[in-house]
Every structure is written in C-alpha cells, then in structure tokens.
Structure 1
Amino acid sequence: MLNEPTITAGSAELAAEKPITVAILAMGGQGGGVLADWIVALAEEQGWVAQSTSVPGVAQRTGATIYYLELIKARPGARPVLALMPTPGDVDLVVAAELMEAGRSVLRGLVTPDRTMLIASTHRSYAVGEKEKPGNGIGNPLVVVDATEFAAKKTIAFDMETLATKNGSVVSASLFGAIAASGRLPFEKAAFEATIKAGGKGIEPSLKAFNAAFERARKGENDKLSDTPAKRLDPLPDSAGHPKLDGVLERIRTEFPPEAQAMLYAGAKKLTDFQDVAYADAYLDRMAALLRADTVAGGEGHDYAFTVEAAKYLAVAMAYDDVIHVADLKIRGSRFDRVRREVGAKADQLVYTTEFMHPRMEEVCGTLPKGLGQWIENRPAVFQWLDRRVNKGRRVRTGTLGWFLGLYVLSSFRGLRPRSLRHAREMAHCEAWLDTALATLGVNYDLAVEVIACRRLVKGYSDTHARGLSKFDRVLSSLPLLVGREDGAAWLRRLRQAALLDENGIALDGALKTVATL
C-alpha cells in the first residue's frame, strides 16, 4: 500500500504561487525578441525572476517565432522551476504581432476564456499561401475576430503596426505599450518606460509608439474589421496643376456621368504614369465610345455599370506588365524608400535590394519593334540561339551603379513602347475583348458587364501572363451557352471565380463541365 505524500507548509505555499505566463507570436522583423527582452528586463528590475525561451518558425514571413516567458516573484533562498514551453490552457497573456498569428494562437489552444488576455495588432503581413493565389487568397479577418472574442477572456486589438510606423518605430514598441495599458503585468507605466530607456537604441521613437499605443489601448475600443479590404477612389480634383493634365480632368468632368468619374480619374492617373498624357487621352477616347454604346443599351437605368467596369479594366489592360514597366518600378525612389521603411533602416545605414530576374527571349522580342520582334520569332534557329544566352536567372542588386543604370536605360524605352511587338499584341487582344463585350451588351446587359470583368484574369508577364490568357479564353468560350440565359451573368461570374481559385485551372475545368450541361 502506498503512503500519501506529506505536504509541508513551505511546499504548500510554493505550490500556491504560480508564475505569470506570457506567449509572444511574431514573425521576423517584427521585434518579437526585443519585446521578450524588454519584458524580462522589466521583471528583473522589479525584483522578479524571469525566464524566456523561443521556438523559431519555418522561416521569415512563413512562420512565426513563439517566445515564451514565465515571471514569478523572487523568494529568498528559493529558486523557482519554470517551464520552457507554453501549455495549452495555462497561458495568462498572449501577444500577437499580426492578426493571423492571433488566430493561430487560438488554434494552438494558448488562448482560453477563463484565463487568457489576448493583445493583437490587426494589421496583416500576408503569408506566401495568401500571395500565391491567382485571385484573392487573403484570409478572412472576421473569422479570427469571432474566434478570439469567443476564446479569450479579454481582447485588445488595433493596428499597432501603423501606429508604430507613424511614430518612427516598429510594432514591438506598440505592443509593449498595449501590455502596459492592459494591467496584466503588475508593474507601473514608469517602469515600462524606464526599460525602453535602458535599451539605449531608438529610445525616442520607441517611447512615442509606446505612449501612443498605451493611450489607444486605454480607450478600450478594438478596431472594426471587414471581410473585404476597404477601397477608396479619390474624387475628381478641380485642377492637376498642369495644362495637359487639366485637359484630361475636364474631359472626364464634361463627357462622362458622375457614376464613372472617380474610376476614370483613377484609370487616367494610372495610364499617365504608365506612358504619358496622350495615352490617357486615348483611353478616354475608347471610353467615350463605350459610354455611347452603354447609353443606347439603357445604361442609365443600370447606373452605367458597364461604363464603370470598363473604366477599371480597360485601364488595367492598357497598363500591361512589360519589362519596361517592371524596370521602371524597380528603380523608383519611392520603392527604395518603402524598402527602407519596411526593414527599419536608419538614416546612416545602407540597404541593398537583390532582385531575382529570369528574362526569356519572349520578353526580349516583345520589347523590340514589332517587325524585328516578329522576324526573330519566325526564325526558330535564331530565336533558340538567342534564348540560350538570355534565358537564365540573374540576381540584380538595384542599389549598385551598374545594375541601376541598366534598368534605367531599359525603363527609358517607354517612348518606343507603342511600336513594340508586345504593345501590338496587347492592343489587338484588348480590341477583341471589347468587341465581344459590345456584341453581348445589346443582348444581355449584365452578362456584358461580366465579360468586361473577365479581364481580371489577364495579368503579369511571362508564364503568369500566358496562364492568364489561357484561362480568359476558356472562360469566354462558354459565352455562346450563356448569352440567352437570364442567369448567364451569374454563371460567367462563377466561372471567373473558379479560374481564380488555383494556378493550374483545376477548379475551372469542373466549372466548365457544369456549364456544358446547362
């Protein structure tokens, strides 16, 4: 027979004391390690014993690192035994540096309604799985919000990344401020601030972000999120400050209905940036013809839905991705500034960006004048000989003089673009697409609007562009079966959504088979 264990008064007292347990989930570059170090330093300065461990994710941007901390009051002559990993159902405070990491903490069982306070930034750093989807692969934030509201005892959630950026710091400083405001750690605000000051680096920006987040968290109102990203179109301004640009604005204001003006303004801006003002004028010429057809088809009764949709996707079609445009984007000062902000570089630090580029002879021919490009393509031996010398991966450091000048020269070919082979092909495809939409407009207005929206399938360049064109053609191949149906627009919309679900078009294959049985 086993004897019952004897519990002394001292051991009973020790067993009654439990450490404060903290789990931090952060991706590379979000300062999770700094935040963990701050909490450890804060606790130790207040006479507590603190222990921190970490388990790294798969890689930066594909997996978060989990930092686990246990804090307990120091006792004379006693050394506490603290755990190395969080136990589901036994975590007091979970801190997520990004919204989806908050959701993953719930899935891991770290957040429980009887115990856990959850502090999370509501901004998104999209995972590879979200970015690789041809369509909208972004996870639904409302699913995470619903899960956290159910799973956590209390939640503090707002965009701490944006708040930190406005104050010149990183999200870890904002998270530290929210922790201080939550009251979950038994330390005064001044002690938190002293910990930041003791770090010796980036003190002022960190303190600004800390205090801004502290005040925001004290308000007790979490961000209201939506399952669709907010889209904002700038209103038509009175003047652009340049005679030619003002002429474009005047055309939009006087020739088009108010319902389409904001979208037309966005399209004209995009095309002026892509090429020049004359190109934006050509866009408005096309749109004027489409508006006339829309009016004849009763567009006013549909709030000019055909014109509005065409204003969006015609601009996208005319601002296609070619190597000239890619080169231009790579060397813009705004891009260098954005990269520096994202990596948190200081004014005296140098940042070099390495781009991976894999040009093919198809892209080279597309950039050449139409006649020369076709001459090379029509001679397989010449094409293959050149392709063996061009078609290879290159790591391009755009911050070096040689590569920057190379891309700069390539981007300067913008003036030659209208005579290029790629431009001729894009415009021919664009005209065929618009002709199809106009032919449908007089028969089935809603279906014509969906034909216009199918242009969304065509994007990018190289293999991505080829796959998009293939899906576009396959989706519109169903048009003869749908044009006479009242629900034809709904079916075409379903086909387009199926085409956006996966890269290989497996879902589209099934959807097309279904339409064939109608």
Structure 2
Amino acid sequence: MRHEPIKIAILAMGGEGGGVLADWIVDLGEHNGWFAQTTSVPGVAQRTGATVYYVELFPGANEPGARAPVLSQAPLPGDLDIVLASELMEAGRAVQRGFVTPDNTTLLSSTHRVYSIAEKSAMGDGRVDSDALLRQARRAAKRFVSFNMEQVAERTGSVISAVLFGALSGTGVLPFSRVQFEQTIARGGVGVKPSLKAFGAGFAEAGDALAGKPPQAAAAGGALVWPRHPALDPLVQRAQALPAGVSAIALEGIRRLVDYQDPAYARLYLDRLADLAAAPGGHDTELLRETARHLALWMSYEDTMRVADLKTRGSRFDRVRDEVRSQGDQVLEIEEFMHPRLEEICETLPAGLGHWLSRPHAVNRFVGRFTQQGRVIRTSSLAGFLLLYGLARWGRWRRTTLRYAIENGRIETWLARLRVLAAVNPQLALEAARCQRLVKGYSDTHARGLRNYETLMSVVDRHPHALAPLTLKELRDAALADEHGHQLDACLKRLALMA
C-alpha cells in the first residue's frame, strides 16, 4: 500500500476551468476508493499570476476501519508528483517556483501563450522566448508532455480543463483507467458531450507526445484569401514583383492598409516603397524589407477612428462571447473605458478646425474640461454602439484630419531621411528604419515613444556620416528599455551625443 499521497498542482487562469479540473480529480479519487482534498490560492489577476489549485490523493478510503490521513493544504517546492499548466508561461513559473523536479515530477502543459501584462506593456518586443520556456521545462521535469491545448479546446468546442484532464489520463501517471476518468466527467452533468470530446482529443495528443509523434494538424482555415476585387489585382502584382524577401511583407502591408483605409492608401504605400528602391543604395533587400514592415505599421497608426472601428466589429463581439463562453440567449454587456485627451479630439477634426481648437482660447478650455475624466461606453447597448460606429465611419475622411496631416508629414520626413542615409551608409539607414518601432500605441504611450524616436532622429541628422550603425542600435535598445527615456538619456551622455 502506498504511504505517500499523490501530490498534484494545477496552474490555470480565469475562465479556463481550473477549479472544475481540480474537482474532477477529487471526484475521480473519491469514487474509486481514495481520500482526496483540494485547496486553491487565487492569483492577483489573469495575467499577473494564475490560480494554483492543489490536490492530494491518498489510497485506502474504501478499506474497513480506514483512518483519514492528514493531507497538506499547499504545494511545497520539490514535493510534487504532477504539475498541470494551462499555458506555457505558467509552466515556466511552476519551474521557477521549484514545483517541478527532474527526479519526480510529470509536467503537462499547453504550448500556447497568453501574454502577460509586462510583455504587452514593453516598449519593444517584450515577449518571453517560447522555445526557451520549452527547453527549461524539458530540463526541469522527469517527464514533460506538451501540445497546444487551446487549439484542441477550440476544435472540440470545450475548455482547456477538459483537454488537460484527457492528457492526464493519457500519460498514465494516475492509477485510474480511461473509463474511470470519463465516468467522472459524466457525473458532472454539465457540458458532458463537448467535455468528453475534448477529453478524448487530449488523451490522444498526450499519447502521441509520449510516442514522439508530431501534434495533429489544426483544422483547415485561416489561410489568407485575397478578395476578388479588380482594384486589388495591380497592387498584388506590384508587391509580388518585389524581391522575394520583401514581397511577402508588402502583401501583408497591402492587406492591412486596405482594411485600415482603402486601395488608394495601399497604392500610396507601394509608391513610397518604389521611391526608396529607386534611390541610390535603397535597393538593399534588408532595408526594403524592414521599411516595408515599419511603413505599413506607421501608415496604420492608431487614431480614435481606428480604435472605434476595432471595438465595433462583429468579429470582436464574437471573440468576446467566445472568451467568456457565453451560451445561447445569455445577456452579454461590454463596457469600454475611453479617455481621449484634448489632443486626440483636435486631431480627429478636419485639419483647419483641429489647428484652431488646439490653440488656447475659450472654446479650447471649455472642451478641455470634458477630457479630465474618462468615459465608460457600453458598446453592447444601442446608444454606445452607434456612438462608436459613427466615429469609426468618420475614418472614410481620415485624410482630411489634423492627425493625418501630422503623421503623413512625419512619415515623409522619415522616408526622405532613409533615402539620404541609404546613399551614404545602407546599414545606418537600416537601423534608422528600425527606429520606427518606437512610434506605436495610442495617447500617452504614443507620445512617449514619439519623443524618444525624435531624440534618436535628431542624433542621426546631426551625425549622418560619423554615426555608427551599432551606436544607433544601442541607442534604440536603450529607448525601448525605458519608456520614460531615462536610459536613453544616460546612453546619450555616455556616448557624448547630447544636443
């Protein structure tokens, strides 16, 4: 008879059914002659820390005269038999906390990512390397089983907890049969059919992972299909005529800008790339590729119309319903917190009117009073939806707005700078093209990034012949590391490049 309990930790985010999974494991044990206990420690929020559910199973509950064991209420580092993680970063956190050990622990994890707040708020690419997380998990665990459980859950119309339960059964680390696992789901009485389907898929995927087989292909769909519109054919042909390393990005740029504005705007995008390619030194493939990528991003800058458009799309309502698992005729309410500054209001107006309103006078001060506090707009209500829908439709006249005039001027200045630098030092032009990464986001985020970008470009303009490409890269990395510009200022002082 086993004298130590089986110790299981489940790390799951809100909405993924971590509590249901813990209850399933407890029910599985209790209905098959085991003592079982579960506790949970809630995380701070969905992506600042997952809830940790802890389960202990001990045999002998159905034996005559059995005495209830004293079970622990919290997981201890180095003392877990099984760790289940609903997302790859949570598997990494389990390893970091010492829950996973190479001599004892079986680790089951989904390979998909839900980016953390720190990753999303980084000025540059703040994503943690998924391959590094996988390598870390493999080294830390006695046995590591992983596949994209979110994809399996979507394919089967269920949630990750059911897939994890199937994977747990498929690994064979618990002394229960598949039938006993499935009976546990059936006893729950809620969503039994999709849960069993997801369980079966998770069971199969775990078996394939243990056998070293590649994961099953995702369901067909999601391939890029170009709309059959005559205005797009010449644009696609022009993009495909670009060098191989550039054409794929240019095609994505066209797709993005047609969605953002219209085919004429995408044509302007290709014209700008052609001007750079025709300039001395501008035909460099790497420079063209980076410019194509960053130009598409800059030309699709986030203004109030773009934000309103994205928030009122039917696909967004469908996604929210899917994320919260809204069923049938359930009422769904969506509230948007919006806090436009006076500058955004001015920039949304036609250029002349926006310039006038931005100057200090009585009307400026009157409008400014209404921007002191944010507004909550319920887009699931008719009034809230129509308000944002009307703002989104104003995007048809985006080219008349003050924001377009400002951003268009900045883009043309950037491209002119790249053409000049390409003739002098193509590598420096490449690094200058990549500096566009600093200009992103909306409201205060955009303002801070733009300030850092303009600081770097002033350095480039003062030292076009003497500035080394690696120096500009170092300055850009410093700007991306600190949104307030403190590290950039320190780097400029160290390199004696302050204005």
Q: TM-score range by the shorter chain?
A: over 0.9
Match of 2:486 in 1: 506
Compute the TM-score of the two structures, normalised by the length of structure 2.
0.93
1:190 is displaced (CA, Å) by 1.0
Match of 1:297 in 2: 281
Contact 2:449 2:483 in 1 (8 A): no
- For the residue of structure 2 that corresponds to 1:138, the secondary structure is coil
For residues 264 and 138 of structure 1, the distance between their equivalents in structure 2, rounded to whole angstroms, comes to 24
Contact 2:282 2:422 in 1 (8 A): no
Query: Is 2:258 the partner of 1:272?
Result: yes
**Change beyond 3 A, Cα 1:93–1:253:** closer
Q: Which has the larger radius of gyration?
A: 1
Match of 1:101 in 2: 90
Q: What are the Cα deviations for residues 379-418 of structure 1, in whole angstroms up to 9, with x where unaligned?
A: 3432122110244211111111000000011111112211
Match of 2:218 in 1: none
Q: Which amino acid aligns with 1:383?
A: N
Aligned length: 488
**Change beyond 3 A, Cα 1:34–1:222:** farther
Match of 1:66 in 2: 52
**Change beyond 3 A, Cα 1:454–1:117:** same
Match of 1:7 in 2: none
Q: Which amino acid aligns with 1:409?
A: G
Contact 1:234 1:266 in 2 (8 A): no
Which residue of the other structure, out of 429, 448, 466, is the alignment partner of 1:467?
448
Contact 2:240 2:251 in 1 (8 A): no
Contact 1:21 1:90 in 2 (8 A): yes
Query: Is 2:309 the partner of 1:328?
Result: yes
- For the residue of structure 2 that corresponds to 1:243, the secondary structure is coil
For residues 450 and 517 of structure 1, the distance between their equivalents in structure 2, rounded to whole angstroms, comes to 17
Match of 1:430 in 2: 411
**Change beyond 3 A, Cα 1:222–1:333:** farther
1:167 is displaced (CA, Å) by 1.1
Q: Which amino acid aligns with 2:416?
A: D
Q: What are the Cα deviations for residues 263-287 of structure 1, in whole angstroms up to 9, with x where unaligned?
A: 1111111111111111111222222
Q: What are the Cα deviations for residues 33-60 of structure 1, in whole angstroms up to 9, with x where unaligned?
A: 0000100111111121111111112233
For residues 37 and 423 of structure 2, the distance between their equivalents in structure 1, rounded to whole angstroms, comes to 72
Match of 2:496 in 1: 516
1:421 is displaced (CA, Å) by 0.6
Q: What are the Cα deviations for residues 466-491 of structure 1, in whole angstroms up to 9, with x where unaligned?
A: 11110101112222565335x82222
**Change beyond 3 A, Cα 1:165–1:418:** same
Query: Is 2:225 the partner of 1:244?
Result: no
For residues 117 and 355 of structure 1, the distance between their equivalents in structure 2, rounded to whole angstroms, comes to 42
Q: Which amino acid aligns with 1:51?
A: Q
For residues 454 and 151 of structure 1, the distance between their equivalents in structure 2, rounded to whole angstroms, comes to 38
Compute the TM-score of the two structures, normalised by the length of structure 1.
0.89
**Change beyond 3 A, Cα 1:298–1:327:** closer
For residues 433 and 359 of structure 2, the distance between their equivalents in structure 1, rounded to whole angstroms, comes to 33
**Change beyond 3 A, Cα 1:467–1:221:** farther
- For the residue of structure 1 that corresponds to 2:255, the secondary structure is helix
1:175 is displaced (CA, Å) by 0.6
Q: What are the Cα deviations for residues 461-517 of structure 1, in whole angstroms up to 9, with x where unaligned?
A: 2211111110101112222565335x8222212221221112212222222223327
Contact 1:181 1:218 in 2 (8 A): yes
Contact 1:159 1:223 in 2 (8 A): no
- For the residue of structure 1 that corresponds to 2:58, the secondary structure is strand
For residues 278 and 400 of structure 1, the distance between their equivalents in structure 2, rounded to whole angstroms, comes to 34
140-149 vs 393-402, greater mean Cα deviation: 140-149
Gapped runs of 5+ residues in structure 2? Answer: 216-221
- For the residue of structure 2 that corresponds to 1:500, the secondary structure is helix
1:250 is displaced (CA, Å) by 2.7
For residues 102 and 91 of structure 2, the distance between their equivalents in structure 1, rounded to whole angstroms, comes to 14
**Change beyond 3 A, Cα 1:223–1:34:** farther
Q: What are the Cα deviations for residues 6-45 of structure 1, in whole angstroms up to 9, with x where unaligned?
A: xxxxxxx8xx611111111112111110000100111111
Give RMSD over aligned pairs.
2.2
Match of 2:333 in 1: 352
Within 5 Å, give how 1:173-252 maps onto structure 2: 173-219=162-208, 220=210, 240-252=227-239
280-289 vs 343-352, greater mean Cα deviation: 343-352
Gapped runs of 5+ residues in structure 1? Answer: 1-12, 226-232
- For the residue of structure 2 that corresponds to 1:477, the secondary structure is helix
Q: Which amino acid aligns with 2:240?
A: R
For residues 81 and 320 of structure 1, the distance between their equivalents in structure 2, rounded to whole angstroms, comes to 60
Contact 1:482 1:488 in 2 (8 A): no
257-266 vs 424-433, greater mean Cα deviation: 257-266
For residues 125 and 201 of structure 1, the distance between their equivalents in structure 2, rounded to whole angstroms, comes to 27
1:193 is displaced (CA, Å) by 1.0
Which residue of the other structure, out of 246, 262, 282, is the alignment partner of 1:260?
246
